[in-house]
Amino acid sequence: MLKKRILIVDDEPDLVETIQMTLELEDYECLVAFDGNRGLERARKEKPDLIILDVMLPGINGFKICRLLKFDENYKRIPIIMLTAEAQDQDRLTGEGTGADFYMTKPFSADKLVAKIAEFLGE
Q: What is the pLDDT confidence band of residue 95, given thresholds at 50, 70 and 90?
A: confident
Range of the domain at 9: 5-120
For the entire predicted model, the pTM comes to 0.95
Determine contact, residues 35/16, Cβ cutoff 8 Å.
no
CA distance 114 to 120: 10
Q: Report how many domains make up the chain.
A: 1
pLDDT of residue 28: 96
CA distance to 14, 19, 41, per residue, from 112 (Å): 19, 12, 28
Q: What is the CA angle 81-117-18, rounded to 5?
A: 80
Query: What pLDDT, on the 0 to 100 scale, is given for residue 60?
Result: 95
Each residue's pLDDT tens digit, 52-76: 999 999 999 999 999 999 999 999 9
pLDDT confidence band for 1 (50 / 70 / 90): low
* Lowest-confidence pick of 20-34, 62-76, 83-97: 83-97
Say what the pLDDT of residue 21 is: 96
The CATH number of residue 103's host domain is 3.40.50.2300
> Strands (DSSP E) along the chain, which ranges?
5-9, 29-33, 50-53, 80-84, 102-105
